Amino acid sequence: MTLDVLRVHDLLVYYDTPAGAVTAVNHISFGLKAGERLGLAGESGSGKSTLALSILRLLKPPGRIAAGEVWLDGVNLMTLSEEDMRQVRLARIALIPQGSMNSLNPVMRIKEQLADALQDHGVRLSKRDVAERVRDLLQWVGLRPEVADMFPHELSGGMKQRACIAIAISLRPQVIIADEPTSALDVVVQKQVMETLARLQKDLQAAVILVGHDMGLMAQFVDRLGVMYAGQLVEVSPVRDIFTQPLHPYTQMLIASLPSLEQKGTFRGIPGLPPPLRTLPPGCVFHPRCPHAVERCQTEAPLFREVRPHAWAACHLL
Amino acid sequence: MTTLLEARHVTKLFSSGLLDRHATVALEDFSLVIDSERPSITAVVGESGSGKTTLARLLLGLVAPTRGEVLYQGQDLQNMSHTTWRAFRRDVQVIFQDPYEVYNPFYRVDHVLTTPVAKFKLASSKAAARALIAEVLQAVGLRPEETLGRFPHQLSGGQRQRVMVARALLLRPRLIVADEPVSMVDASLRATILGALRTMHLERGISLVYITHDLATAYQISDNIVVLYRGSVVEAGDVELVVKQPHHPYTQLLMSSIPLASAERTWTTDSGTSTMGLQAAESAGCKFADRCLRATSPCLQAAPPLFHTDRYRAVSCYLYQSAPALAVTEMGKAFTGPAKLSHGDGT
């Protein structure tokens, strides 16, 4: 039994609005094992990106972490000073941000951006050693050495994404959080980038949290998948189980709505809409759209519990 | 057989600046016929830069082709009388990708529905207009009382996109050009919108050109498919054939790259070794040759024509040169008829 490298406990995140606080992450707890690939899937507004940024304490106002703990290797990140947290980021837990192709500085060469990250985290190296380190990092993510002297606009989308991955892994973090890392890339390039990420993760023995809405990408990449709905984690199961025997009714309907390449079928969307986060329904958040809802679902929030070995879900009917 | 809309040898070049001699080829020698009597759903699939949005804009007459022509009932879109334009604007509707950008945030969503009713005099009275709008909203699964009177920001992306489908339906068009209509919509709503488009095709006999980067939704909705790569058709024909047994090396690469949403892993993320170079220069031959594992010298010299490999498929690749070549204007010969339709079948 491997130990958890990261533990999120009862995390609660609000967005303050003039009309009151909106709950974006609603009492979420989960663990991440060393070397594991965990997916966090959900539709827009389900809180998956907010959760990712909160773990790194990168959430900007009006977002606000109201309660909860994030344990990384015996340290609760929520209690660290701002400066200590800054040192933990990148060195121990790194982010590959959403639309990271736009997160590179357009007026700095790739090698300067890589060196910047190293120096900022106290890596003191001679000029020649930095150049060598940059070359190694680029090679590691599958980029040619010439890329070091290039500016971001000279690179294709997939190459920029690789450069971002190179920065993220430059200090050999234990945890990599990738927030929709390939959402702007074509499928062929997406596959190459994800294969690169998989190889690096193996080499580093790092754990990865992949945040996204593409269930296909999740199916192909992660070991375990968490499904979010209206700020809550409704199910966390081994990824195979999610596709073969999903537990939560929302997961079941989500899987059924995916277009298949195997067989033509009728289109089965999920009727209704996710609830507004400001006025969540009482009881289970999914009950207004759930075809199996009973009276209890309208009044009592279901507990998130282990329904089958390693498979957790929050539903009264299970 | 009469044609509603036809693209004939259409090429579109984009050049930047006065002195730029290296124009970018957005679309090259493209032909497509939309029959007016036999409604069809044709998917056009390609990655970014394949020319699919340029194709949509050409079919709608929003940009003029550099070479070739787009014809509406035999008349060139670039050279049409005011009356014909009016008929065209009614017969051919569009659904754009971004359900956020197409609305004016200061108007209620009603505006996009009442404007066409007024412009095309679709209703004789306010009550009739109201009934008409309610009918099309219901057709796309929206409740009029929950939709009308709201501002765009009060609706979700999926709702906004469905209002756009309703707007297109309002004019009782014969063809809808949909450019990535569901790419910005969540998975659970994607199915609802595609379902609405398919129903509208089956019940009202409206043809659809469905432009997308997503092969899975293309497979689900269409009868025929056209695969574009850097502005050229690489494979076209019956969607079952193209998706299930792709012939062109590019289509094969595309199919194998799709992350399948199933318990079965088709990706080898355990032994990934891919590296990536800089983009290759343009060549006179096949545009895919620089990435193709099976490329030989003829591929670099001249672009391959479409080879009619099966009754319902054409492939632009020398691997299939034993099959008879097909002129690009005859690409439609590789398409299946509207088998699922009972009405209006003229074959």
**Cβ separation of B273 and A270 shorter than 8 Å?**
no
Using an 8 Å CB-CB cutoff, list chain B residues near A159: 276
Q: What is the C-alpha separation between B117 and B151, in angstroms, rounded?
A: 19
**Best residue in B189, B260, B268, B273 to probe A by mutation, most A CBs within 10 Å?**
B260
Q: How far is A224 from chain B (nearest CA, A)?
A: 12
pLDDT at B338: 64
A227 near B CB under 8 A = no
pLDDT band for position A7 (cuts 50, 70, 90): very high
R_g over Cα of chain B: 21
Nearest residue of B to residue A263, measured between CA atoms: B220
CB atoms within 10 A of CB A69: 14
Query: Beta strands B224-229 and B232-238: pairing type?
Result: antiparallel
Q: What is the C-alpha separation between A260 and A263, in angstroms, rounded?
A: 6
Using an 8 Å CB-CB cutoff, list chain A residues near B340: none
A201 near B CB under 8 A = no
DSSP A59: P
**Cβ separation of A195 and B215 shorter than 8 Å?**
no
Mean of pLDDT values over A51-60: 94
pLDDT at A15: 93
Mean pLDDT by 10 residues, chain B (347 residues): 89 76 84 91 90 92 94 93 93 88 89 91 90 89 87 85 90 93 80 87 93 91 94 94 94 90 75 41 78 87 92 94 90 75 39
Nearest residue of A to residue B159, measured between CA atoms: A273
What's the burial of B21, exposed, middle or buried (CB within 10 Å: 0-12/13-18/19+)?
A: exposed
pLDDT at B269: 58
Nearest residue of B to residue A242, measured between CA atoms: B263
**Cβ separation of B186 and A213 shorter than 8 Å?**
yes
pLDDT at A187: 87
Q: What is the end-to-end Cα distance of chain B in Å, rounded?
A: 9
- Specify which residues A20 forms β-bridges with: A17
Measure the CA angle with vertex A98, ends A92 and A100; round to 5°. Answer: 80
Using an 8 Å CB-CB cutoff, list chain A residues near B200: none
pLDDT at B19: 63
Nearest residue of B to residue A199, measured between CA atoms: B272
Using an 8 Å CB-CB cutoff, list chain B residues near A253: 188
- Tokens (6 digits) for B239: 């969607």
pLDDT at A86: 93
- ipTM exceeding cut-off 0.95 for this assembly: no
Q: What is the C-alpha separation between A189 and A186, in angstroms, rounded?
A: 5
For chains A and B, CB pairs below 8 A equal 146
**Cβ separation of B188 and A215 shorter than 8 Å?**
no
Q: Are B80 and B29 in contact (CB under 8 A)?
A: no
Q: Pick B260's closest partner by Cβ from A156, A255, A261.
A: A261
Nearest residue of B to residue A141, measured between CA atoms: B275
Q: Which helix (H) or strand (E) holds B234?
A: strand B232-238
Q: What is the C-alpha separation between B192 and B196, in angstroms, rounded?
A: 6
R_g over Cα of chain A: 20
Give pLDDT tens digits for A143-163: 999 999 999 988 888 888 889
pLDDT at B271: 43
Q: How far is A6 from chain B (nearest CA, A)?
A: 23
- Which carries the bigger pLDDT value, residue B279 or residue A113? A113
